[in-house]
Amino acid sequence: MSTLFISDIHLSQGRPDMTAALVRFLEHDAPGADALYVLGDLFEFWIGDDDPNPLHREVAEAFLALSQQGVPLYFIHGNRDFLLGRQFAKRAGMTLLGDPCVIELYGERVLLSHGDLLCTRDEGYQKFRRITQLKWLRWLFLRLPLTRRRAIACKMRGQSQMENATKQQAIMDVTPAAVDDMLRQHDCRMMIHGHTHRPAIHDFSLDGRGARRIVLGDWFEQGSVLVCSPAGQRLETRTLC
């Protein structure tokens, strides 16, 4: 009996090793799980469900095969794949969740998020995020030709990489006060998120009581999986080869 959590795989055609590792995980590790949650940035970028990229079809088929074995699949959007829509989710057998959302995990209320909402010290990024959440802007973008969308996504990705290279690491991490506020708002003592690529289990005090924040890792050098059971939580790694 276990529930699995992953995030920040950042799949792309340039990293077939990561795709192979994820497919292997879905085929050999995930069957029999109570559920699998993907907390964002499954893909390096997403320009629309109508993108005929063969990688998307391969990944959707792997998730669907797991879903057909009776494992519930859930997805929270990341900052890289926030345009992933219902069409792909249906092909993959996934249920889309809001960010943040609360689940019941073996008798405990647990707050799930991709994690970028918590990085409030990165004011430039938060402004960008608010813009990308505008429904009318998304509607317009998804009606551009695929070639135009791909060019825009590549340009934005390049700009993001340049900006992140000059930012202080502390700015790109979560703000403790934002974590506390979100837990209070949703009446939870545990949070699971990704985004920062800093896998760890943080125990701390919130209003005089114990609380826990679990950070998922990325899949750049090795896979990162959180395994939760009635006995507790543990972060595990998976090899890419």
Q: What are the tokens at 46?
A: 């997403």
Q: For residue 167, say whether it is annotated as part of any ligand binding site.
A: yes
Pairwise CA distance, residues 205 & 84, whole Å: 36
Q: For residue 195, say whether it is annotated as part of any ligand binding site.
A: yes
* SS (HEC) of the chain: CCEEEECCCCECCCCHHHHHHHHHHHHHHCCCCCEEEECCCCECCCCCCCCCCHHHHHHHHHHHHHHCCCCCEEEECCCCCCCCCHHHHHHHCEEEECCCEEEEECCEEEEEECCHHHCCCCHHHHHHHHHHCCHHHHHHHCCCCHHHHHHHHHHHHHHHHHHHHHCCCCCCCCCHHHHHHHHHHCCCCEEEECCCCCCEEEEEEECCEEEEEEECCCCCCCEEEEEEECCEEEEEEECCC
Q: For residue 28, say whether it is annotated as part of any ligand binding site.
A: no
Q: For residue 99, say whether it is annotated as part of any ligand binding site.
A: no
Pairwise CA distance, residues 152 & 216, whole Å: 29
Q: For residue 80, say whether it is annotated as part of any ligand binding site.
A: yes
Q: For residue 77, say whether it is annotated as part of any ligand binding site.
A: no
Q: For residue 202, say whether it is annotated as part of any ligand binding site.
A: no
Q: For residue 24, say whether it is annotated as part of any ligand binding site.
A: no
Q: For residue 197, say whether it is annotated as part of any ligand binding site.
A: yes
Q: For residue 51, say whether it is annotated as part of any ligand binding site.
A: no
Annotated binding-site residues for substrate read: 79-80, 122, 160, 164, 167, 195
Annotated binding-site residues read: 8, 10, 41, 79-80, 114, 122, 160, 164, 167, 195, 197
Annotated binding-site residues for Mn(2+) read: 8, 10, 41, 79, 114, 195, 197
